[in-house]
Amino acid sequence: MQLHEMVPFSAHRTAVRNKILFSQCDRLSCRIPHLRTAVIGFYNEVIAWRSREVGGDSTMGLLIGAGILCVGVLVTSMILWRPLRQIVEDMHVDHARALFHQQREWLEARFISALNQADPAEGQRWESAHWHDAVVWARDRQTRHLLALVCVHFEPGRFELSSTHRHATVLFEFRKGHWCAEGKRLDEMRPDEAIGRNQRFEPVVVSHPHPR
């Protein structure tokens, strides 16, 4: 009697367990598509993130390369600029010197005329100035214009106690292919003294002197 009662109870318990198991399997099978979708979505996000990272690295590399190239070009131009400028300036020096000596008498007269217009008394004093033959060449450091510095001296006046000559330096400037005489001068100063004292003047060394 007890054996027959135990068998149905055991079968009943097994049936209930199977029912629960099948129910859990059904729920799990319903969740699998959602889980698969979540996994696929996560994978796509990872792929997209890696793509953005690679693209960002590529863009950053291009920017760094462009910056290095610009710096290299700038440094090269700074290194080559001074020698190239010196070559171009030296090419024009010989032409400017020859032109100055061709026009020197006219330039001296033009200088005195400019002084007469600015200060008649000063222009009259310069009428008696003695012009030296030598020319000292220099360059304006700011404008890069070629300068011709000519020394002049004045005889002492009748009522002057000193018998020494007074010197001055005349400045002629070469601009746009022409020599200009605008009355610029440095009183009580020789050309070599003017270059030594004035930091704006850069001496220009010529290979051979030009005869007057």
Question: What is the number of residues in the chain?
Answer: 212
CB neighbour burial string for 69-91, b if at least 16 within 10 angstroms, e if fewer: eeeeeeeeeeeeeeeeeeeeeee
Please spell the DSSP secondary structure of 93-120, one letter per residue.
HHHHHHHHHHHHHHHHHHHHHHHHHH-H
Residue 212 forms part of a structural domain: no
Residue 134 forms part of a structural domain: yes
pLDDT band at 143; cut points 50, 70, 90: very high
- Report how far residue 196's alpha carbon sits from residue 160's, in angstroms, rounded to the nearest whole number: 29
Lowest-confidence range among 88-97, 121-130, 165-174? Answer: 88-97
- pLDDT of 51 > 90? The answer is no
Indicate the pairing of strand 178-180 with strand 146-154. unpaired
Residue 22 forms part of a structural domain: no
Number of domains within the chain: 1
- pLDDT of 11 > 60? The answer is no
Residue 70 forms part of a structural domain: no
Q: What is the pTM of this model?
A: 0.58
Q: Is 170 exposed, middle or buried (0-12, 13-18, 19+ CB in 10 A)?
A: buried
